[in-house]
Amino acid sequence: MAFPNLVLLLTLFSFLLLFRSTQSKLSADYYNKTCPKFQNIMQTILAEKQLSAPTTAAATLRVFFHDCFVNGCDSSMLIASNAFNKSERDANVNLSVAGDAFDLITRVKTALELGCPGVVSCSDILAVSARDLVVMVGGPFYEVVLGRKDSRESNPSIVDKNLPKALTPMNELLSLFSSKGFSAEEMVALVGAHTIGFSHCKEFANRIFNFSKTSEFDPAYNPVFAQGLRKLCANYTKSPAMSAFNDVYTPGKFDNMYYKNLQIGLGLLSSDQAMVTDNRTKPFVD
């Protein structure tokens, strides 16, 4: 069954790939001559990794988004910190990114370096990995043009102002996405990536504990869902790794259940649930 919002979502992902890449001539067959086994090598490792660690798809998609929204899809998110410089990866908002994504890129890059040394960029590896993993978990295929170059700089100080957070108000969310060239409809589609993956309890604890003087939890939640989250996250301050699926029904499937969940009070994050109450975004959720 095809879902129009998902097609739009994947079209937007492909649009993200063009950020700051206009100086290079990108093409779908960029590596056909210089690394003819590029796709085969990638698909083998991606399949093995996703099967052994099902969180890989969501983690990689998140890394891809976080990379693209900060100075473009240049793999600056993949640069590690050292004694002389902190990188984007160590910005507060990126500390919760699952390590499976970085492990995957390292595995793919290592294999490609053995097959065609010094040819394939990490930026292209990340872009294709995000696309192929989305397909593996049920999303539609979309073309990724290749040939982008890797950044040699990674500045954590510019990360926070460029990425949306769980508690970011709707006005600021719309403004942020607008600054990147995306409409309200496109923002709703992109946030639909939350159809896979999970969020740590600290990201929504404000909605389930001591929400107000009259309610322990946010009344926008389905009450049964809220009680379940309260039990799940009861000890989250002692166990910061505690988390919940963004989509309680089909957490590992790339579908449109995320939007249906928002309509019945099953939106996990404040920023998610706000999209179904704000008149600027609700029509697109619906």
How many Cβ atoms sit within 10 Å of the Cβ of residue 71?
19
Residues annotated within the binding site for Ca(2+) are: 67, 70, 72, 74, 76, 88, 195, 247, 250, 255
Task: Find where tokens 């919760």 sit.
Answer: 96
> Which structure tokens are listed for 118?
């010094």
Residues annotated within the binding site are: 67, 70, 72, 74, 76, 88, 164, 194-195, 247, 250, 255
The angle, 0 to 180 degrees and rounded to 10, between the axes of the packed helices 38-52 and 100-115 is 150
Residues annotated within the binding site for substrate are: 164
SS3 of 44, please? helix
Residues ≥6 apart with Cβ < 8 Å to 230: 208, 209, 216, 217
Task: Find where tokens 């890129």 sit.
Answer: 105
CA-closest candidate to residue 193, choices 17, 65, 56: 65
- Is 200 in the active site? no
CA-closest candidate to residue 267, choices 224, 210, 220, 227: 220
> Which structure tokens are listed for 119?
């040819």
Residues ≥6 apart with Cβ < 8 Å to 284: 5, 184, 185, 188, 189, 275
Under 8 Å between Cβ of 46 and 127 = no
Please name every residue paired with 200 in a beta bridge, in sequence order, or none if there are none: 243
User: How many residues would you count in the chain?
Assistant: 286
Q: Choose, from 49, 66, 109, 131, the residue flagged as catalytic.
A: 66
Question: What is the set of active-site residues?
Answer: 66
